[in-house]
Structure 1
Amino acid sequence: MYHIKEDKRAKTSANMIYQGLSYCLKKKTFDKITITDIQQASTVGRATFYRGFDHLIDVLHWQCDCCFQDMTTIFFKNEVYKHKKEGLLLCFLDYWTEHSTILEQLLSINRVDIIYACHQKNSLTILDFFGKLQPLPNTSYEYFITIRSSIFIGILLVWIKHGKKETSSQLLHIISKQIDFIKDSYFYI
């Protein structure tokens, strides 16, 4: 678990640790990286590391959460995104096509579960916004979140697997076509 305080100094240290880990991931596999490696790459002391993180994986979890929070902030600040039916999806795709490093890092160490957990955690803020515009299904709320998380994350993982060739607009078009196909199909799966 991570414990980053809401002050500039703690966030700066956490970011330096993440940058150090990113550097190390270019040189070694995740399971071979030590806290000492992170110290040397980030110039942040061991005590500072443990003040913010319990384990090395927590650094990637924190960065993934930060990215999802950043994307959410962008969505709320951008009136164009907020007033289009596909606005949230487009914001999501625009953001991740520019900030895919953390997704690639988690994918490379088979920790897609962290991406899903961060998406589900941070989607609650956005769902509160949409809940004011349209009532959301109360009885199957977890399914509502899970379906959207699975679609969003699944699309990004395939995009990364295929070499990140498509733009966010092309991805939006692909998703729209697939949703239309599902709606018009004789089967859902």
Structure 2
Amino acid sequence: IEILIVIGIIGILSGVLVSVINPAGIRAKSRDAQRKSDLRQIQTALELYFADNRMYPEPVLNGCAPGNTLGCTTKIDGNDNLTDEISPSHISAVPLDPKLSSATNQDVCSQPTQYRYNYMTDASKSIYVLTAIMEAPDSNDESTCHSLYNWNRPDTGPHLEISCRNSSGYVTANVCYGLQNP
């Protein structure tokens, strides 16, 4: 009987411990840290590309005419123009989001549960924004997309101005982490 009581107490304590530790939350934060690191690697490759070409690569996607890149995005999925332009000359392999799915929408403002990296540039290809959708709500605290200067440039009007509120009411800006050219 005493052994059963001890086993029961251990079971209860381990259940409480697992719920307090929240392994799913830890894994989500780990993937978010990987996303930040991946975007910094892509950013370094973009700066090397800029040093060689004096402009950033142009995103190409369906519905966005070449040369008209104002606010146009490309989903970085390994089959995109950005990957073709910077790999392998400026980065050995372009990293992909840890939870990227082929069904993921490429729009930076699509549902916040569709994880991907996005790249945007303006028509002059002189500025860019890289974005990732985070899993943990506080993972983007130091660099939210809407806080980036290039997201909505007040000096010259909208460049990559994006409100990130679609008809379904999703506000991806709440979980969007971004980097821009220095």
Could you say whether these structures have the same fold, taking a TM-score greater than 0.5 normalized by the shorter chain as the test? no
Answer 1 or 2: which has greater helix percent.
1
Give TM-score, length-normalised by structure 2: 0.30
Structure of greater relative contact order (alpha carbons < 8 Å, 6+ residues apart)? 2
